[in-house]
Amino acid sequence: MGRQLAVAFVATALGACAHAPARPDMHPANRGDASWHAVEQPDTVHYQLALGEVSSGGKPLARVTPAYPASRLQACVPVVDVIAKLIVDTSGKVTEVRPGDADAAAPGLRPFLAATREAALRWRFDPLQIDHWSADANGESHVVDSRTEPFSLDYVFRFTCHSGRARVSVDDQAAAG
């Protein structure tokens, strides 16, 4: 019974990590709504949990919406998508923001990448914790070991402009890798 409970708990916890609700924080420079969109890149690597291990955390706690680059507002490019990998340390702080491979090579995206980096470095996440559960002789489950791990998530930041009005959005839809 204890083992079945642990397996059910693992499945529930992993499923909960897979989808985080969107809670936008508006930057004063933006005029419009914002939401977040996480994506899973083909090269994403996930933690492999051993039998009895459960992961929790890895969800955004505080997000800052990038400001639409003022230098690009006059051009009013209809849609610019920027892919960025957010590297998160064991305390839940974003320590690095890496552009997607194609984005890094595009000179026209540099102002959008800079805006994305500036905002994303202020994001905070619930630390990713991995607990190892085991059952005792009575079948009672308990945590025998716990650790926090760094992780990364890929996000698509969408910058849009219509008639001189800018909007930036990002939506959650993927798990931590």
> What is the per-residue pLDDT for 172?
52
Cβ 147 vs Cβ 130: under 8 Å: yes
3-state secondary structure of 24: coil
- Full pLDDT tens readout for the chain, 177 residues: 443 434 333 333 333 333 333 333 333 333 333 335 677 766 777 777 778 778 889 999 999 999 999 999 888 888 888 889 999 999 999 999 999 877 777 888 999 999 999 999 999 999 999 988 888 888 888 788 889 999 999 999 999 998 888 888 876 544 344
Architecture of domain 2-169: 2-Layer Sandwich (3.30)
CA distance 94 to 157: 16
* Domain extents in the chain: 2-169
> What is the per-residue pLDDT for 171?
61
Other beta carbons less than 10 A from residue 160's beta carbon: 17
Any residues with CB less than 8 A from the CB of 141 and at least 6 apart, and which?
2, 3, 5, 6, 133, 134, 135
CA distance 6 to 132: 10
From residue 4, alpha-carbon distances to 139, 140, 145, 148, 154 in Å are 10, 11, 19, 25, 33
Bridge-based pairing state of the strands 124-125 and 37-39 = unpaired
